[in-house]
Amino acid sequence: MKKELDIFFTALMFFTRIPCPKWISHDPDYLRQSSKYFPLVGILVGSIGALVFYGATFVFPREIAVLLSMVATIYVTGAFHEDGFADVCDGFGGGWTKEKILFIMKDSRLGTYGVLGVTSVLAMKFFTLNQLPIPYIPLALVSGHALSRFIATTLIYTHPYVRETDDSKARPAAKGMTFGMLALSGLFGILPLLLWGDPWVFLTLLPAYLSKVFLGIKFKKWIGGQTGDCAGAVQQLSEVIFYLSLLVLWKFIW
């Protein structure tokens, strides 16, 4: 039990700014196994965003409350996944060989493709969430952050890690996913959907996963697999697709 707690806190420490106990080690094997807890971290991050949204609605209009919830989740995660999405946009937008793409993605500077990509995905989140009924937005945030992180772990499971150097901080977490780890990740990722109390919400799983398939095909074609940035890009895109899918359900079914 203590080992699993260490692994969870390792995931929390690596993917958020939330303070963790000082006794947590930096064992690379714990980081490798921590991927199974990514959606659980997502539940926590989404819950923080939901609480900020709920509290802000007592003071501000809906639009500002949504924006504050987004800012809160970005701050808590240190824009970890947004940075990965931007790097993928730059790499695949400006590179034409595997080596060039990986080099651009490793560059800390942000290019035109990255700016346009991350701006577009954040704008899409903002406007889509604003179209949902206010009572559903907190649950949408929790579900979106959890499910999208599960979708990202499926990329780690199906695509090999392709960076050959050991200087990537995300390397241990971006490889070595077992089926058992994937199953536990799926449990945490899908769990918030049960809170909706409506089986129709599970339809959102298909488009969310198809977004991963779409990016996965591109990753396989151009670089032969995935990196930590690729997993971050999948998380961001599948989160947006989940919110859009909720909007479709609300318009045509609910």
Q: pLDDT, tens digit, for every residue of 38-70?
A: 999 999 999 999 999 999 999 999 999 999 999
Instruction: Read off the pTM.
Output: 0.93
SS3 222: helix
pLDDT at 8: 87
Distances (CA, A) of 180 to 33, 148, 177, 188: 11, 19, 8, 13
Q: How many CA atoms lie within 13 A of 71 on its CB side?
A: 9
Question: What are the tens digits of pLDDT across the range 63-112?
Answer: 999 999 999 999 999 999 999 999 999 999 998 999 999 999 998 889 99
Where does residue 175 fall: left (phi above 0), alpha (psi -120 to 50 degrees), or beta otherwise?
beta
Question: What are the tens digits of pLDDT across the range 187-221?
Answer: 999 999 999 999 999 999 999 999 999 999 999 99
Amino acid (1-letter code) at residue 143:
S
Please state the rounded mean pLDDT for residues 225-247. 97
pLDDT at 166: 53
CA gap 88, 102 in Å, rounded: 9
CA gap 196, 80 in Å, rounded: 28
